[in-house]
Structure 1
Amino acid sequence: MADTAKDQEYEILSPPSDLRSKVRELTPREAKKFDPVKAAEAALERLSSHFGTWMNNESATLLHAWEAVRAQGLNDDTLAALFQAAHNIKGQALTLGFPLVGEVAASFCHLIETVPSPDKLPLSLVERYVEAIRAMVAEGAKDEANKTGVELLKTLQGVTEEYLAQFPPKPDDV
């Protein structure tokens, strides 16, 4: 029988400061005029000048993870760092204005997640993904308007699917 909450030990964590003291409450009149979506869009607009730098930083993190794979080989730690870097790019690319880079990172994550074991991960293809992401970020290949980026994405996806086709699906994938 599972333990109930009363039977389990737990600790209540209290925040170091009350965040309510950090914000100003809107008057009823201000609250009536406040549009949270418009406020979020304005905040994104103010931050957008930093998006390219942030993507460059994510790209550098991916390169660092790839360099660790090359130096130390593929092991649980290096694979986890490589996947995390690609996954972060996949998750942030659309918001940061690089949807095409996000699609490349998604295909890369799919490759890493789908190979049956790390020793089956083709390092030459991994390197192609890393270099493609880095080049697309550096060149500002943000969306479908960049024909070279689109072709690069299609090629990587095709090579990935062709490679993964040799492995039968896992029973829980069917």
Structure 2
Amino acid sequence: MAKDDDMEIINPPNTLKSKVREGGPGAVDLATLERAENVIAEMADTYLEWVQEDLKRLDESFKALAAASGDGKTEAESVFQIAHDIKGQGGSFGYDLMTLIANELCRLIERQDEFGPPEVQAVKVHIDAMKLVIQNRMKGDGGANGQALVDGIRQVGDKLNK
């Protein structure tokens, strides 16, 4: 049995370098990459306008969820879609907390079978947290305040799912 325990480490060849070209057709053009980065930087200025519109839409969807009869799944799906959009955009424009909080909101919605008062309140906490991030222009991870905010959001989700 001892001989069966011998192992051999096999390192596969790394052929990636042979597939990436330096110059010529299909190669990464550094000037194009720099132009793209500049466009994204310019778009960052308008991100705050876009996210304000998303937050307004999120408020409207939340109102429908809060007023919903039945399990609220249809109304929660609308909240999910908007939060998913916010999640995708936040980090691209330096608002990593928006991505984190929107992701937590999406995961919270996915885990629920119905949306009664506790679930609706948890959704509201997430939305209010996103508004706070934008209102205070909390870019990046938000430092200690950002970490405290994310920790609080996660506690809400954990408490709800116990």
TM-score over 0.5 for the alignment?
yes
Separation in 2, partners of 1:34, 1:153: 36
2:125 and 2:87 mapped to 1: Cα distance?
16
RMSD of aligned Cα (Å): 2.4
SS at match of 1:141: coil
Instruction: Note if 1:91 corresponds to 2:61.
Output: no
Letter of the aligned partner of 1:150 in structure 2?
Q
Structure 2 length as normaliser, TM-score? 0.72
Q: Report the count of equivalent residues.
A: 135
Mind listing any 5+ residue stretches in structure 2 that lack a counterpart? 1-23
Q: 2:140 aligns with which of 127, 130, 143?
A: 143
Q: In structure 2, which of residues 62, 65, 75 is the aligned counterpart of residue 78 of structure 1? A: 75
Code of the aligned partner of 2:45? S
2:44 aligned with 1:45, yes or no? no
Fraction of identical pairs, as percent: 20
TM-score (norm 1): 0.68
For the 8 Å contact 2:58–2:79, the answer to whether it is kept is: yes
Matched-pair contact (CA < 8 Å) for 1:59–1:137: no
Helix, strand or coil for the counterpart of 2:41?
helix
Instruction: Name the counterpart of 2:59.
Output: 63
Per the TM alignment, residue 96 of structure 1 is displaced from its structure 2 partner at its CA by 2.3
Distance 2:134 2:56 in 1: 10
Structure-to-structure mapping, 1:96-135, within 5 angstroms? 96-115=93-112, 117-119=113-115, 122-135=119-132
Match of 1:160 in 2: 157
Query: C-alpha displacement at 1:162, in angstroms?
Result: 3.3
Farther-moved stretch of structure 1 (53-62 vs 100-109): 53-62
Cα 1:64–1:35 shift into 2, 3 Å: same
